[in-house]
Amino acid sequence: MTGPQVFRVALDMPLRRVFDYLPPKDPLPPDTGPPVQPGVRVRVPFGRQRLVGVILEAASSSDLPTERLKPILEVLDPRPILDTAALGLLRWAADYYHHPIGEVISAALPKALRLGASSSNAEERWSATAQGREAHERGEPKRAPKQRKLLEFLVAGDGSTADALTENVPNWRDAARSLAARGWIGSLEVIPEPDDVPLGAQTSGPTLAQEQRNAVEAVGKLLNQYGTFVLHGVTGSGKTEVYLQLVERVLTQGRRALVLVPEIGLTPQLVGRFRERFGVPMAVLHSALTDHERLLAWREAFSGRARIVLGTRSAVFAPVPDLGIIIVDEEHDSSFKQHEGGFRYSARDLAVVRAQRANVPVLLGSATPALETLNNVTTSRYTRLTLPRRADQAAPPRMALVDLRANDTSKKTGRCSYS
């Protein structure tokens, strides 16, 4: 018998081990490609439960006797959702942070994927059949108003996506099942056509100051190799414009960018800047999304349709094919550290490791870099780029220390002062 005999699967549980399983009893047809390989999700038996896990590796034998091993129940993915680089990063994180690999992988995937949802970004599209159109002309179904409304919507619109149905016909699933059972409607999955959009900027940015140009050129020279840069710029010095210029260079190369921000509140503002500058599809990931919205954004990134992936700390694990650069805005912010839950990590540090493994530059921007970042600059591990002036040449605010104890203005005005 050729091929691997055992697959080692990581499961979402607080155990520092993986679990061995036999190949599935009913393998997929050969024309579907390699069905079982590292990075693929599988459904496996675990006691009385059926859990979703990720294959980490294949082996020729197990420490357990073969009769004690159970076969994989189902292979969920036609291709790995975690490639070799992603698995390597997650293994490194599990070792570095001393955490079970199963929970580390779980933190890197949306909840829907952990429960077995499809990783494909195919759209679910519903349409009325010929029999359904004839039934609609007869006013059918007469005693099921919700079914009649759904059938009318599909006939009028010549079909519809599931998302559009959810928006226009709330709670339509039960009605759809009844209509489908009668042969009046049907569904199929359609892969969206790639958007034919220019990869560069659709609007030009402002003229860069000399320090901004120096920063763009320094990072731009290393777009095809690893390097960690610290963009140290005062507030208003134009760090975001440096980000935009570098992302534009990456996009023109046909590659993609990953941008991390610390707070959800900063996400809409930065997304607006990027969408105003670039006309390419974007995937936005943060904790305020619903599980379904997070899954859709992940699929956009995984399929490669999204040219820019932007999000908070969990986005450091987002799949980004042909990654060209990683940018971490406000790298000193403590929000990049996951303090709650099981797996605790620093997204900024993982971004540096990911960039090193992907052989791409990483840019850490801040007006007040963290002490450990400054130490890495001092020891020449990171390269420092400085923006000492505001982009609009505005003078910094004047600051003065006033001793209120020696100032009797409050007595004359009747206002209270604090010493």
pLDDT in tens, 279-295: 899 999 988 888 888 99
Segment among 121-125, 186-190, 326-330 with least mean pLDDT: 121-125
> Is the four-CA dihedral 50, 113, 303, 38 of positive or negative sign?
negative
pLDDT at 418 over 50: no
CB atoms within 10 A of CB 54: 29
More confident residue, 410 or 403: 403
DSSP for 160-194, please give it: EEHHHHHHHSTT-HHHHHHHHHTTSEEEEEEPPPP
Q: For residue 8, what is the DSSP state?
A: E
What is the pLDDT, as a whole number, of residue 122? Answer: 74
Tell me the percentage of the chain whose pLDDT exceeds 70. Answer: 89
- Residue 31 backbone phi and psi in degrees, to 5: -75, -5
pLDDT level of residue 154 (50, 70, 90 thresholds): very high
What DSSP letter does each residue of 382-418 carry, written as one string? SEEEEE-S-TT-PPPPP-----GGG--HHHHHT----
CA distance 261 to 328: 6
Helix (H, G, I), strand (E, B) or coil at 341: coil
User: What percent of the chain lies above the pLDDT cut of 90?
Assistant: 63
Mean pLDDT for 326-330 is 96
271-327 pLDDT, tens per residue?
888 988 998 999 999 888 888 889 989 999 999 999 999 999 999 999 999 999 999
Specify the amino acid at residue 251: L
Q: What is the pLDDT of residue 123?
A: 72
- For the chain, what is the mean pLDDT? 88
Q: What is the pLDDT of residue 267?
A: 73
pLDDT at 31: 47
What digits encode the pLDDT tens for the residues 212-253? 999 999 999 999 999 999 999 988 889 999 999 999 999 999
Over residues 169-181, the mean pLDDT reads 88
**Is the pLDDT confidence value at 177 over 60?**
yes
Tell whether the model's pLDDT for residue 192 goes beyond 90.
no
* H helices present in 48-196, as ranges: 84-96, 101-108, 111-114, 130-137, 145-157, 162-168, 173-181
Residue 335 DSSP label: G
Residue 415: pLDDT band with limits 50, 70, 90? low
* pLDDT of 218: 96
- Write the CA distances from 77 to 53, 103, 279, integer angstroms: 11, 20, 31
Residue type, 200: G
Rg (CA), the chain: 27
Residue 76 CA: distances (Å) to CA of 10, 112, 305, 352:
15, 13, 21, 31
Segment holding 296, helix H or strand E: helix 291-303
The answer to whether residue 33 scores a pLDDT higher than 60 is no
Most confident of 76-80, 122-126, 150-154, 371-375: 371-375
pLDDT digits (tens, 9 = 90+) for 340-399: 878 999 999 999 999 999 999 999 999 999 999 999 999 999 999 999 887 666 566 778
Q: Could you tell me which of 366, 313, 362, 317 has the C-alpha nearest to residue 335?
A: 313
C-alpha 13/C-alpha 47 separation (Å) is: 13
| pLDDT score at 412 | 53
